[in-house]
Structure 1
Amino acid sequence: MAPPVKRGEPAAANKTTIWPGVVLAAIVAASAFSIRELPGLGIFSPMILAVIVGIVFTNLVGLPANTRTGIAFCQRSLLRFAIVLLGFQLTVTQLGAIGLTGVAIVALSLGATFCFTLGLGRLLGVERKLAELIAAGTSICGASAIVATNAVTNAGDEDVAYAVASVTLFGTIAMLGYPLLAATLGLDQHDFGLWAGASIHEIAQVIGAGFQFGPQAGEISTIAKLARVALLAPMVIALGIMAMRGRVAEKTSKPPMPWFVFAFVAVVALNSIVEVPAEAKSLIVFATTFMLSVGLAAMGLQTHIGKIRSRGLRPLLLALSAFVFIACFSLLLITLMG
């Protein structure tokens, strides 16, 4: 907690206490970008590596007390702003490349996987908040969806780190394994791209799998993945409404409505109407990835390995089951509807 403002001291002076934490999280994120340049690590997004570096730092070195306010700022305000900027990576017209059938396959796969994961989570006895994060990360878009969903779920940092780690693990397996299965399954480039985009977790993993199979598959997989990103907004809004109703029924305080998601929708609409110059868009994409990495680095810095270990293997089993489900379900839809 930041120290109280002393009498006669300008309120703005107290705000400078966020900077030690912001700088530390930014250094961790920057190191993640550097580590990604090492051989064999380019397949991982800097967001994932930022979480790992943050966890290693805080568990080996410890977290200075004066960084906590800034880290909290990165976890909330900065992350939400970065998610809004994700809207610049999507336009409505892009969805036309996969057609209404492709959009339907993406939407059905997302909805079915989310519901399946929550239901199985209850059967396995996985804590509801952690199950929601795993469901969002698997069905929508990996770490970004986990962060957005946590705005209404309000899970602990260890739950966020567990969800990110498990989703990254199985997304990486999918990225490496899908191209090997494609020939056996008899998929052409269009169907393979749609399958990869509809079921692999992280955007970087989707691009890696898609372009490994072929250029057309890479383009289709990217667009299908962006369609899933577009569905992030209605999913988080629906979760927020459900959470609000639950709190009202229990006569407890209402959770905050994820207003930043409406800003994300507005940015998508703006990006669909106004053509952003390519140079500016490249800068926005990099800034978005870096801010997401800073926010996830902050979460890693607040995560203790002992608390992750205490969650046990059931959430990992849940993430594995969700991964297998979305892979099989989306492939079935492509076979039936393609």
Structure 2
Amino acid sequence: MLTPSPAAQHRALVPGLLVVAAATALALGVQGAVPALTASTVAVALGAVLRSTGAFRRSWSPATAFASRRLLRTAVVLLGLQLPLSQVAALGPGGIALVLGTVAITFAGTQLLGRLLGLSPARSLLVATGFSICGASAIAAVRPATDADEQDTATSIALVTLCGTLAIVVLPLLRAPLGLDAQQFGAWVGASVHDVGQVVATGDRVPGALATAVVVKLSRVLLLAPLVALVALQRRRTAGREGTRRPALLPFFVAAFVLAVAVRATGLVPGAVLDGAQHVQSVLLVAALFALGTGIDVPHLLRTGRRSIALGLLSWVLVAGVALAGVRLLGVG
């Protein structure tokens, strides 16, 4: 069987990429019209609708595979340019302890819950990473160090998107009953909500909370590379005993993410470039999430994925509860 030429392979991407572009534009347009609906949520939902209704065409698969891998990894790299280390340092010991404690307890606790529910270690690990760090970006970063498959990835991203969307609605309603002022609420949101866009949407609903929410959230994102390295190190030890392939300690795109953080820290990058990179990162992430959404068959997930859904909801309660306790005990905000 002849292998298609590179030109033919590129042409095969065009129909699917047009669909990805249209869905991305629609998702961003919906967010502009209804800010409570983040573009990431809309993108995943659009992809799932196409898959679940049978409207997705097999000819689009090369393009969605490209978007779900290459575009998502590029978005992870550009995310590094959004992390201002000086603001993270300004959080102080209490804020840093809040971030470290929430991430560690959520990461370990979610994997324990996954084992108790009888889920595979790979899926439990992806869910734990997404809920403890930064949603889809973290799931994409840690996946090369696991034996997770496409279904594990799509399901984990669906769960983190669902629960992050619920947080936009639920957390602001709980602020007054919990007696949180704007700064405390911002710290709670930043420490517990998953995707950066979801944090912005949630924090923006309470005047004065957004700045704190974003800084705390970006502090969590800084833990992405160390967490990926720890997972890869554990996997390398297991692979050494089993004689299987050992993953890289840091995938190339995660190393590029670290480099982007360092470049931002120099203060040499013009503000206009940083703003442009942020917009590009947002668009690429939305496109990748739509592509990943096309792997979600909702009826199948509801029939066979009840334990996964239970894990997502329990992990959401865990991260919110731990973050709230941290805000109270450490006096953050």
Tell me the TM-score normalised to structure 2 length. Answer: 0.90
| 1:77-156 equivalences in 2 (<5 Å) | 77-156=70-149
Q: 2 CA distance for matches of 1:255 and 1:310?
A: 33
Q: Secondary structure at the match of 2:243?
A: coil
Q: Secondary structure at the match of 1:212?
A: coil
Aligned equivalents of 1:218 and 1:306: distance in 2?
36
Secondary structure at the counterpart of residue 246 of structure 2: coil
Aligned counterparts of 1:151 and 1:29: Cα–Cα separation in 2 = 25
5+ residue gaps, structure 2: none
**Pairwise mapping of residues 160-199 of structure 1 onto structure 2 (< 5 A)?**
160-199=153-192
The answer to whether the aligner puts 1:4 opposite 2:3 as a matched pair is yes
The alpha-carbon deviation at position 289 of structure 1 amounts to 1.1
Change (3 A) 1:3 1:110: farther
Q: Separation in 1 of the partners of 2:52 and 2:171?
A: 35
In the alignment, the residues of structure 1 paired with residue 246 and residue 2 of structure 2 have an alpha-carbon distance, to the nearest angstrom, of: 28
Answer yes or no: is the 8 Å Cα contact 2:132–2:194 preserved in 1.
Answer: yes
Q: Is the 8 A contact 1:158 1:308 kept in 2?
A: no
SS in 1 for 2:36: coil
1:119-158 Cα offsets, whole Å, 9 max, x none, are: 1110111222221122112111122222223233353333
Root-mean-square deviation (Å):
2.3
CA distance in 2, matches of 1:14, 1:167: 33
- AA of the residue aligned to 1:322: S
C-alpha displacement at 1:218, in angstroms? 1.3
- Give the superposition deviation at 1:16: 4.0
Amino acid at match of 1:75: S
- Aligned-residue sequence identity (percent) comes to 35
Q: Please give the residue correspondences for 1:259-274 in structure 2 after superposition, counting only pairs within 5 Å.
A: 259-274=252-267
Letter in 2 for 1:235: L
Alpha-carbon distance in structure 2 between the residues aligned to 1:124 and 1:58: 27
**1:327 paired residue number:** 320
For 1:14-93, list aligned pairs within 5 A: 14-39=9-34, 42-93=35-86
Aligned to 2:285: 292
Q: 1:34: Cα distance to partner?
A: 2.4
Is 1:110–1:228's contact at 8 Å kept on the other side of the alignment? yes
What's 1:254 paired with?
A: 246
Question: Within 2, Cα distance between the matches of 1:221 and 1:5?
Answer: 49
| Structure 1 unaligned regions, length at least 5 | none
Count of residues in correspondence between the two structures: 330
Asked if 1:245 corresponds to 2:209, the answer is no
- Tell me by how many angstroms 1:206 deviates: 1.9
Note closer, same or farther for the CA distance 1:4–1:90 as it changes in structure 2 (3 Å cut): same
Rate the CA distance shift 1:104–1:61 in 2: closer, same or farther, 3 A: same
Bigger mean CA deviation after superposition, 150-159 or 194-203: 150-159
Aligned residue number for residue 218 of structure 1: 210
Q: Distance in 2 between matches of 1:50 and 1:213?
A: 25
- CA distance 1:304–1:316, change in 2 (3 Å): closer
Q: 1:17 to 1:120 in 2, by over 3 A?
A: same
